[in-house]
Amino acid sequence: MNLKSSIRYFAIVAALCLLCVGMSGCTSISSGGYEFKSGITPPKAVSDLMKNGTVILFITQNNCPACEQARPLITSLQSQYNGTNVTFVEFNIDNNVTSRIIGQTYGVTSTPTTVVLRKDGAAAIFVGVFDSNTVKSAIEDARK
Amino acid sequence: MDVDEQAKKIKNWAKRYAEKKGIELNPDEGRVDEVAKGLAVRQEKFGKRYCPCRIMTGDAEEDRKIICPCAYHEEELKEHGMCHCKLFSTKEQ
């Protein structure tokens, strides 16, 4: 392989890498097993909430047993952050279009899905009945 | 058929399915009843047992994957010992 074709080869590889990063969004992986994914534009209903600090979205739907199983966990976390700038909001996708749009924005395919939002909009997404300690770590990371 | 009656039928079906597959229903019977009711509500509303913890897209082809037993339950049982809806579990649970 001569110099010219080597340069062309590396340029193609670099372009493909950049394309992959662009398509997947930037992620920062924590040691806690979750990642904050950036590149998602929060819908207005969410960005309005983010003005007050860290936001936790609890996305549910009707007749969802796993949502009911996770509800006490989210309630417990909510009480632990009572009086802080962490806001917990439930969006039931069966209830209104806004909730459905929020679900679509964060790629929700099953419920419950819990989204921890950092100030810059980066989101750590937990699908199903979550581990409270892991979500709490994500909230603490988001507050930094 | 009302939803409660439908839920009973679904629970019986789920028991038979679990036996056939060598798996079990969630030992938490209350949870099984809730899932069966969620499935019954969706059967009543949409005509099929769509998983109550998954989001229907409106695309029939895509939504076929989430008719209980869904396309994902075997993988979830292998990975987590339970399906996402917490209806089925592996025997080790």
At residue B1, the pLDDT reads: 73
Q: Does B18 touch chain A (CB under 8 A)?
A: no
At residue B26, the pLDDT reads: 94
Nearest CA in chain A to B34: A65
Nearest CA in chain A to B36: A65
Point out the residue among B31, B55, B86 whose CB comes nearest to the CB of A109. Answer: B55
The 10s digit of each residue's pLDDT in A77-115 is 999 999 999 999 999 999 999 999 999 999 999 999 999
Determine the distance in angstroms separating the CA of B93 from the nearest CA of chain A, rounded to an integer: 16
At residue A28, the pLDDT reads: 52
**Residue numbers of chain A with a pLDDT score lower than 50:** 16-26
At residue A71, the pLDDT reads: 96
Determine the distance in angstroms separating the CA of A136 from the nearest CA of chain B, rounded to an integer: 21
At residue A23, the pLDDT reads: 40
Domain limits of chain A?
A: 26-143
At residue A1, the pLDDT reads: 55
Cβ distance of A63 and B37 shorter than 8 Å: yes
Point out the residue among A63, A108, A127 whose CB comes nearest to the CB of B52. Answer: A63
CA dihedral A40, A41, A45, A46 (to 10 degrees): 50
At residue A143, the pLDDT reads: 94
Please state, rounded to an integer, the average pLDDT across all residues of chain B.
Answer: 94
Q: What is the pTM of this model?
A: 0.80
Q: Is the pLDDT of residue B52 over 70?
A: yes
Superfamily in which the A26-143 domain is placed by CATH: Glutaredoxin (3.40.30.10)
Domains, chain B, ordered by start: 3-89 (3.90.460.10)
